[in-house]
Chains A and B, each alone.
Chain A
């Protein structure tokens, strides 16, 4: 199992260099900064913090070129994105009512024997909608793959071959944050999951989100709306068992027990892990090492963990299912 380090945001207090040293990285490092979009090439500060020779894979620019070379793929890709946006909007419309009901029940005082089954049912309804949404997304991706066979198209195959060559000269991969949908789309189109092999990965913010099995968008206090976390898509699944929450202190009301509890129960058995500046989770030799990271617990607490344990210490550390869904 490849070593992976998931870090908190890097802009003001970069820790990527420390993480590279902890993982023992030495050789050239492949940079993926496609989430920065047109600023993809502005990697001077990142390279300085990393302290290793680096090769920018330039996935954002590659897709821009590829779209010009293969207009039919570009059109189909845009159509898929439009469909995904429409699906997201439909999902969001249904989600609002379910989340509101769940929050009300969780905040309600009263006889546990009366309320707890209702709470469980409310959270189950949210989880069912999430599962349905992911199913619709999967179907949309499959339809795109079957219609366009992107991997078999000359322009895509050429880019993937070029990326494979670039990666062959690198010992590790650094995956920065930014626009999660843009980043995830590029990673998927260029088949990065297969190309990464067993190389160690350091990722943060949107980069860390993209490595999880499910990508969860979240903000508890947006200017408008209830701030219901949404599932966006499947991630690459290289960091199983986690839902990472970058900028948690700014984006989440971590003192709001109902919100914390709902997030934890909704996405279990995955562990919801806030990743603020300075936070780090590392997986070495198949085990997640928690260093100062916190977890959202299904009783509404945010607990700090400092343990190093077996292959998957996170799920067993979570409160038991008897506390609710």
Chain B
């Protein structure tokens, strides 16, 4: 049994005893495959609200006697990363809060969650700024005349030591601003290029309007990326300008947008980096994912009926704790069956930015391997 269970059995269940228990450990407490969460407060009930598909999403805490200490223990396999909040109920009302005893947080466009990690998980060191890595630079490009009828802008990342006399691959990143903010993409690019693990590349970081509308096979989005952004970038920067050196990337609906754009422009994009793709489909009947998924399912069904060969090489990643793992596990062999070179990496994580961040090294280095073995500076 773990430390909290020992405490339950042995006490002392006094304020001082609880203080000492809390002081002794880092919370949540990882003991082998078991992780124990605790909360302190004279409240009515406490629930763990996590984002792990496959487990009950609401797990009640147990109170120790009449004390202010609540706890719950979950089995969390080694290498896991789990985002969660606590639901604290008192006076007839509940509120969702981050775990006050856990300083580890993950941010996303909706705020921040607490993070519990299983034994063996380590935050990759290549996401932290490396003082030895030369930094790339960014510049903003504005597109006034777009298929959307409004102005859009794209942030362009240029690798360190960018030279006009060289040619570069182009990576177009859906939700590029979020990738930079929540997945440290610019730092990751600087580091991986510095380490020679990926080739220096030009990266277009897109900033969508209403992504739920524009990403699932919206012809305006396809036209914007394929007919506006890419030609403009290839005119402005020294890019290879061939399919093998054009890549679309995105997560969730952004992965759908990447696949849809490549599918609608066969032969234009040779590579795709698809993270936690929302590749929901139906073989018969209705889907149960809500109205936002209607155009997604319509697109994925159409794609599966006539896939063609959307790209030569596709890197996919997905968390095992996402409901989308099944669709992604289905998509990988489906693409392989069309002659696409596919690599699917699964992680013990959920549908979140840090999961996508943690897979960037594998994805980018597989699609655009650097000269790691040949260059010794």
Please give the residue numbers on chain A whose beta carbons come within 8 Å of chain B beta carbons, in ascending order: 9, 11-12, 35, 38-39, 177-181, 205-206, 209, 217-219, 222-224, 230, 246-247
Contacts and interface: CB of A to CB of B under 8 A. Distances in A.
Contacts of B375: 35, 177-180, 206
A11 B362 contact: no
A209 B376 CA distance: 9
9 contacts: A9-B377, A12-B132, A179-B371, A180-B374, A209-B376, A222-B197, A223-B362, A224-B369, A246-B376
Interface residues of B, number: 18
B374 A179 contact: yes
Contact of B372 (A205, A206, A209, A222): A222
A219 B376 contact: no
A68 to B, nearest CB: 16
A11 B366 contact: no
Interface string B343-377: 00000000000000000011001100101111111
B271 to A, nearest CB: 15
Given A12-B132, A38-B163, A179-B371, A224 B362 contact: yes
B91 to A, nearest CB: 52
Contacts of B197: 222-223
Given A39-B161, A219-B372, 15 more contacts: A9-B376, A35-B375, A38-B165, A178-B375, A178-B377, A179-B371, A179-B374, A180-B375, A206-B375, A206-B377, A209-B376, A217-B373, A217-B374, A223-B361, A223-B366
B376 A230 contact: no
A224 B377 contact: no
A38 B376 contact: no
A222 B198 CA distance: 11
Contacts of B165: 38
B142 interface: no
Contacts of A218: 373
Contact of B373 (A38, A230, A246, A247): A230
B376 A178 contact: yes
Interface in B309-329: none
Interface of B: 132, 161, 163, 165-166, 197, 361-362, 365-366, 369, 371-377
A9 B194 CA distance: 14
Contacts of B371: 179
Closest A-B pairs by Cβ, 6 of them: A223-B365, A205-B376, A206-B376, A246-B376, A217-B373, A177-B377
Contacts of B365: 223-224
B361 A177 contact: no
A38 B166 CA distance: 8
A238 B326 CA distance: 58
Contacts of A178: 375-377
Given A38-B163, A38-B165, A219 B377 contact: no
Contacts of B373: 217-219, 222, 230
Contacts of A206: 375-377
A86 B373 CA distance: 16
A222 B375 CA distance: 13
A233 B369 CA distance: 22
A94 to B, nearest CB: 17
A42 B375 CA distance: 17
A218 B373 CA distance: 6
Contacts of A179: 371, 374-375
A224 B371 CA distance: 13
B257 to A, nearest CB: 26
A226 B163 CA distance: 33
Nearest to B370: A223
Contacts of B369: 223-224
A16 to B, nearest CB: 14
B238 to A, nearest CB: 12
Contact of B376 (A222, A223, A247): A247
Contacts of A9: 376-377
Nearest to B363: A223
Contacts of A181: 374
Contacts of A180: 374-376
Nearest to B131: A12
B290 to A, nearest CB: 37
Contacts of A224: 362, 365-366, 369
A202 to B, nearest CB: 16
B312 to A, nearest CB: 17
Contacts of A246: 376
A246 B369 CA distance: 20
A230 B371 CA distance: 14
A247 B195 CA distance: 11
B377 A205 contact: yes
Contacts of B366: 223-224
Nearest to B365: A223
Nearest to A247: B376
Task: Identify which of A179, A206, A224 gathers the most chain B CB atoms within 10 Å of its CB.
Answer: A224
A181 B374 CA distance: 7
